[in-house]
Amino acid sequence: MMRAAVAGASGYAGGELLRLLDAHPDITVVAAAAASRAGEPVSAVHPNLSGLGDLVLSTTDPELLGAADVVFLALPHGESASIVAALPEGAAVIDLGADFRLIDPAAWAAYYGGAHAGTWTYGLPELPGQRDRIASSRRVANPGCYATAVTLALAPLLASGLAEPRDVVVTAASGTSGAGRKATDALLATQVMGSMSAYKVGGVHQHTPEMEQSLSAVAGAPVTLSFTPLLAPMPRGIVATCTAVAASGASADDVREALVAADRDGPLVHVLAAGQGPQTSSVAGSNAAQLQVALDAHAGRIIVVSAIDNLGKGAAGQAVQNANLVLGLDERAGLTADGVAP
């Protein structure tokens, strides 16, 4: 069995990592670190993880983490770099934070602030050639949740030239767990229940440069993207409506076939049959992504709707998928494409 350590284990993404790894056939958890909850049993922090009742949360000790075969970092943005610097040079590390996702230091400074820590292999296996790059890497930057939903939807169309790189517009709604495990007025049940609201409007959301970076790479030209995120009254899930200008001559059959062809090699991404719509309830608890595509001939735009679990394919599930590739395991080990609806 491969040994795993999880830092940031008291958060929602960290807890989901522990849940997935507890059921993994080839990986066992040997350390779970959470500085603010050190000394407490995992089951006291995550009551749904009774199967890990004997595991006690530790301090974030790089020596303890580095003894594992793979280290998962589910820490707040900007905190991974210092931990990584203290780990053994050859340690396999999957970082769920943003520290190593961006190539451009200026983009990091503009959206996150502080010094840019560097760039690791980007952990979205469904991008062209990326599965092999991840498998040959020891350090992988797990994508952001919104970036995952949007890139899976638009990358095949931009890569095929069926969508124009200009004037890409995305509106996406996320469950409250996407904001992390913290007590704020905006996340109180009385504020969230029965209400939806936009936030970080006007191109300031931190996933914007990440989306533009990935989409520009496949398009072979700079992609400009306008992104508006919404907070939805649900605990988990993302549904994203992604639109782009259709290239001259693009047909509905063309755009659908481009998505289907791109996803044939992806065991966890599914283009739904005509007439079916992606739903967050259908992917809850899974590492799946559901897509549907339409051509709006009147407006001359392609519309792709995608749904993922922000804690699954948008965070912990994708991290396990990346770890499987890095460790030479079956890419789908410990993961499912089946949601838990209703």
| Nearest alpha carbon to residue 230 among 284, 291, 149 | 149
**Distance between CA atoms of 147 and 96, rounded to whole angstroms?**
13
Strands, sheet with 139-141, edge to edge from the N-terminal-most edge strand: 27-33, 2-7, 70-73, 92-95, 139-141, 121-122
Instruction: Give the pLDDT of residue 220.
Output: 97
Quick one: tokens of 171? 């509106």
Exposure pattern of 308-335 as b/e (b: 16+ CB <10 Å)? Answer: bbbbbbbbbbbbbbbbbbbbebebeebb
Instruction: Give the pLDDT of residue 194.
Output: 81
Residue 185 pLDDT > 90: no
Residue 341 pLDDT > 80: no
Quick one: tokens of 80? 């991974």
**Distance between CA atoms of 162 and 182, rounded to whole angstroms?**
42
Sorted by sequence, the CB contacts under 8 Å of residue 176 that are 6+ apart come out as 187, 192, 231, 232, 233, 234, 235
3-state secondary structure of 26: coil
**Distance between CA atoms of 180 and 339, rounded to whole angstroms?**
22
**Which phi and psi angles does 109 have, rounded to 5°?**
-60, -40
Catalogue all structural domains in the chain, each as residue range(s) with its CATH number: 2-142+313-326 (3.40.50.720), 146-310 (3.30.360.10)
**Distance between CA atoms of 188 and 197, rounded to whole angstroms?**
13
Catalytic residues: 145
| Reduced 3-state DSSP string for 89-133 | CCCEEEECCCCCCCCCHHHHHHHCCCCCCCCCEECCCCCCCHHHH
Residue 53 pLDDT > 90: no
Percent of the chain with pLDDT over 90: 86
Instruction: Give the pLDDT of residue 180.
Output: 66
Band (pLDDT 50/70/90 cuts) for residue 36 is: confident
Helices and strands per DSSP (H, E), number in the chain: 12, 13
Instruction: Give the pLDDT of residue 47.
Output: 94
pLDDT in tens, 67-126: 999 999 999 999 999 999 999 988 999 999 999 999 999 999 999 998 999 999 999 999
